[in-house]
Structure 1
Amino acid sequence: MSTTVGQRWRTGRWIALALIVISVIAAVSSFLTAPRPGGRMDPDSTGPDGAHALVALLRDRGVDVVVASTVADVERAARPDTLLLAAETYYTRGEDLLSRLTAVPGDRLLLEPTSRVRQSLAAGIRIDSATMLTSEPDCDLREANRAGTVQLGATDTYEKAGDADVTRCYGGALVRYQDSGRTVTVVGSADFMTNGGLLREGNAALAMNLAGEQPRLIWYAPQKPEGDAAAGSSLTDLMPDAVTWLLWQLCLVVVLLAVWQGRRLGPLVAEKLPVVVRASETVEGRARLYRSRRARGQAAEALRIATLQRLTPRLGLGPNASPAAVTSAIAQRCAGDPNAVHHLLFGPPPSTDSDLLHLAHALDDIERQVTTS
């Protein structure tokens, strides 16, 4: 008896040890392969809103990308042959910081500038709310024409505010003009440069063309306030660094305890429904689900399959009858054109809700005529 208990204990101990090792390996792998966090347009972030992919592409192309977290970093890296990319500029607060940015030499590429930043760094343009956004360049700017169609998303549009000769692309979402020997480019959206937006249409080409014009690029996308409001600190800024590691260790302990104490799931057990659901409620619920996901193709396919399942026995056809045989049999019982019948039963999915509703009515009409004939 004692020998059997000892064997079970040794077996259970090895199983428990194996589970602990597997949990630790899984936790470490998840931590190492997790996306690098960061804010929007953060050059080190691999999340959807980060910009690590574009920075890596520019560096592979030979562009010297200098990441600047503060205005002082921008001033140290700026040269006449550089391009300053400024994004997330709502973190740049204070007229003194904007004045220092204005004095920086080189070209400028502003993404979603605030009104104060636009007035300081791009005084030659202003907001134009009357212009309709387009996805085609419709301008003579080489960088935009080489990129072609893009998806900028929600964006501001601009027009000239003075005597400067402003080139407007994509309905004014991208503008460029010359100011005292420097090229100033403004884009009303930064989404096309993020990791999640590069794969849409020609977004990657437009981002590379705009950001890779100069051999040296200063990437200025601050992730925390600088200037008047920089003195404020959040709760995470006040926490010691060791607290983060402590939290990770506590999470690992919780996972291990859950694995240790978790019960093994048994086989599925069939149970009766506690209530009877009416067929009409099921149909309405499924219809709302289709409509919320805009699944017109799946809805149309369900309607056509149900119609054919009801009609083929009435027509004396088997379940594997060909579309041509079904169409011919229905056309003999109805007054419709065989081509129209084939289009309704086996045609492409509808493109709009109105077309789907028309298809449902037409299928009902065919079924009624076959039933009464």
Structure 2
Amino acid sequence: MTDRATTVAPTAGQRWRSARWLVLALLVVGVVATISTLLTAPRPGARMDPGATSSGGAHALVAMLRDHGVDVVVADDIAAVERAATPDSLVMTVQNRHLVGDEVLRRLAAAPGDRLVVEPVSRTREILAPEVRRADGGTAGGDPECDLREANRAGDVQFGASDTFEASGDVPVTTCYDGAVARYTDRGRTVTVVGSADFMTNAGLPKRGNAALAMNLAGTQPRLIWFAPPRSEGESSGAATLSDLIPANVKWVVWQLCLVVLLLAVWKGRRLGPLVAERLPVVVRASETVEGRGRLYRSQRASDRAADALRTATLQRIVPRLGLGPSADRAAIVTAVAARCGWDAGTVGHILFGPAPATDDDLVNLANALDNIERQVAQS
């Protein structure tokens, strides 16, 4: 047998050398995409959450205050407020569903320093700002129309829907923006009440003079204690899992990278490499191959398979000589062979398409008969 061209699959080392730059590029892209997503993904949170970058959060206001030198202390519970509060600090209380307990409100009222109460409900206002009460009607903003310096510097403000307040006793109360902002001084402490927090949120700060008013009200003291409790006192927040700490966008990036790697593996796995000439280590004679296959058939007593192989090979050689196509049926082949050889059609059909031989002698006789048919067809 002669040498022939064969396909040789590249070794593991060759595959790695050709793919390592692609793997490195994928890793770099994945790391950059992950870091970018972590830095730019919005951080969700509740309304006026100082760490939330969503539209209702207050991360922008906290960042602005800190840039202007205000020490912003985010207190998660009343104990943190009491530890951080000093006479020259401002305690900012943001109303939410967790700020409802009378005990917490009384402890807030007893904390030292000025007080900024945002969107208070009735009970919160009665304890933290008892000198004001809710007035009839509401406002959406406009000009301050008061002599409060912080409001006049801010000018026109857009609050959104806001409650309004008025004095409830003998203590003088300054009201601005039709009562949306109220301020009074009691026993050396300045108390400011705001009817809406919309102008302090990330989405509200860019409108009109909202950022200026939010900065002026929250930055009156060198230290601001931000109290918007994330949960009720005594309520456990639970342990966060690793999946909870991963932003949703990062998960999508990981799934996309997995899909890219899978497609790359399918694409590269189908490549068997270029055709190369390879010298076969052993040359085997055709007769030895036939003899070896014959011995295998004999050892397994597979006379039926041997007979089928002989008949198939004979038919593949004589059918073109008979002028028949590859789809010719048995009857047409038998008729053509019988006409060429001058034999009986039944005999020809038995030789070409008959049952498998029962003994080795029958297999030898079948081989001789097939060889005789092929010779006569070739010579006729």
User: What TM-score bracket applies, with the shorter chain setting the length?
Assistant: 0.5 to 0.7
Which residue identity lines up with residue 258 of structure 2 in the other structure? Answer: L
Q: Single out whichever of 164-173 and 13-22 deviates more from structure 2.
A: 13-22
Q: 2:151 aligns with which of 133, 138, 144?
A: 144
RCO greater where, 1 or 2, for CA within 8 Å and sep 6 or more? 2
Deviation at 1:147, TM superposition (A): 0.5
The residue aligned with 2:97 is 90
1:309-346 Cα offsets, whole Å, 9 max, x none, are: xxxxxxxxxxxxxxxxxxxxxxxxxxxxxxxxxxxxxx
**2:37–2:249 Cα contact (<8 Å) kept:** no
Distance 1:131 1:243 in 2: 40
Deviation at 1:202, TM superposition (A): 0.6
The residue aligned with 1:207 is 214
**1:16–1:260 Cα contact (<8 Å) kept:** no
1:8-157 aligned within 5 A = 13=19, 17=23, 18-19=25-26, 21-157=28-164
**1:133–1:171 Cα contact (<8 Å) kept:** no
Which residue identity lines up with residue 225 of structure 1 in the other structure? Answer: R
Distance 2:183 2:201 in 1: 21
Deviation at 1:216, TM superposition (A): 2.2
Deviation at 1:195, TM superposition (A): 2.3
Which residue identity lines up with residue 191 of structure 1 in the other structure? Answer: D
1:219-275 Cα offsets, whole Å, 9 max, x none, are: 2122x2223xx4365xxx355447746999865552223224569xxxxxxxxxxxx
**2:87–2:112 Cα contact (<8 Å) kept:** yes
Deviation at 1:65, TM superposition (A): 2.3
Deviation at 1:70, TM superposition (A): 1.2
**1:139–1:168 Cα contact (<8 Å) kept:** yes
**1:125–1:160 Cα contact (<8 Å) kept:** yes
The residue aligned with 1:225 is 231
The residue aligned with 1:257 is 258
RMSD: 3.2
Q: Indicate the percent of aligned positions where both proteins have the same amino acid.
A: 51
1:99-128 Cα offsets, whole Å, 9 max, x none, are: 111111221111111222111101122222
**Which residues of structure 2 form unaligned runs of 5+?**
265-380
Distance 1:43 1:246 in 2: 18
1:262-315 Cα offsets, whole Å, 9 max, x none, are: 69xxxxxxxxxxxxxxxxxxxxxxxxxxxxxxxxxxxxxxxxxxxxxxxxxxxx
**1:133–1:157 Cα contact (<8 Å) kept:** no
Describe the shift of the 1:66–1:249 C-alpha distance in structure 2 as closer, same or farther (beyond 3 A). closer
Describe the shift of the 1:202–1:239 C-alpha distance in structure 2 as closer, same or farther (beyond 3 A). closer
Distance 1:128 1:160 in 2: 9
Describe the shift of the 1:238–1:177 C-alpha distance in structure 2 as closer, same or farther (beyond 3 A). same
The residue aligned with 2:289 is none
Distance 2:119 2:249 in 1: 36
Q: Single out whichever of 119-128 and 40-49 deviates more from structure 2.
A: 40-49
Distance 1:255 1:71 in 2: 45
Distance 2:139 2:247 in 1: 52
Deviation at 1:93, TM superposition (A): 3.2
**2:154–2:209 Cα contact (<8 Å) kept:** yes
Which residue identity lines up with residue 160 of structure 2 in the other structure? Answer: G
**Which residues of structure 1 form unaligned runs of 5+?**
264-373
The residue aligned with 1:180 is 187
Deviation at 1:97, TM superposition (A): 0.9
Deviation at 1:91, TM superposition (A): 1.6
Distance 1:64 1:250 in 2: 35
Deviation at 1:56, TM superposition (A): 2.6
Which residue identity lines up with residue 42 of structure 1 in the other structure? Answer: D
Which residue identity lines up with residue 231 of structure 1 in the other structure? Answer: E
Which residue identity lines up with residue 64 of structure 1 in the other structure? Answer: D
With normalisation by structure 2, the TM-score equals: 0.59
Distance 2:104 2:116 in 1: 17
**1:148–1:202 Cα contact (<8 Å) kept:** yes
**1:133–1:172 Cα contact (<8 Å) kept:** no
1:223-372 aligned within 5 A = 224-227=230-233, 230-231=234-235, 237-241=238-242, 244=245, 253-261=254-262
What SS does the corresponding residue of 2:166 show, helix, strand or coil? strand
What SS does the corresponding residue of 1:152 show, helix, strand or coil? strand
**2:76–2:227 Cα contact (<8 Å) kept:** yes
Count of aligned residue pairs for this structure pair: 257
Distance 2:131 2:247 in 1: 52
With normalisation by structure 1, the TM-score equals: 0.60
